[in-house]
Amino acid sequence: MRPIAEKVLNAAASWIGTPYRHQASTKGVGCDCLGLIRGVWREVYGEEPEPPPPYAPDWAERSGTDRLMAAALKHFGTPLLLMKAQPGDVLLFRWRPDVAAKHAGILAGERQFIHAYEQASVVCSLLVPSWRRRVAAVFRFPESGSVSG
């Protein structure tokens, strides 16, 4: 396992049990799925590349743009095929093929991922077929906190 992936997994696992809170990103206090990714990024690299703009719970349905995918491309680089996914990689999910990606998690093993589950907390869930078929993209945390190296 790549050293960065091990750091990502250790950080993500330490968030398990953090309550779900829309737009939050504080371990033990609250986070949403983006907040989990942001918090892990901070733990691994020290600071976030940029603060996210405010967003409503229905931002993906109302915006008409795939903002989560665009941000992932900007900060993680080229997406990978699901069959190439490794523990520590970011998974983006879309509920239907014709809508923007709206959920994110971190692959924790071949069949598990860590994510902030709405109206619950950060949990480790099985990557069952109903989740797997909704994976829109897979991204790897960069070695240095920057896709440009």
Is this prediction's pTM over 0.75?
yes
* pLDDT score, position 28: 98
- pLDDT at residue 62, rounded to an integer: 65
Domains annotated for the chain, with CATH where assigned, are 3-139 (3.90.1720.10)
The confidence band for 3, taking pLDDT boundaries of 50, 70 and 90, is very high
Asked whether 18 and 27 are in contact (CB, 8 A), the reply is yes
Torsion, CA 31, CA 135, CA 14, CA 68, rounded to 10? -40
Average pLDDT over residues 57-81: 85
What are the tens digits of pLDDT across the range 5-64? 999 999 999 999 999 999 999 999 999 999 999 999 999 999 998 988 888 777 666 666
Distance between CA atoms of residues 146 and 115, nearest Å:
23
Task: Check residue 98 and give its pLDDT.
Answer: 85
Residue 107 has pLDDT above 90, yes or no: yes
Q: What is the pLDDT of residue 55?
A: 82
> Do 137 and 79 contact (CB within 8 A), yes or no?
yes
Q: Is 34 helix (H, G, I), strand (E, B) or coil?
A: helix
- 37, amino acid identity: I
d(CA 82, CA 107): 11
Instruction: Name which of 84, 138, 128, 86 is nearest 108 in CA terms.
Output: 86
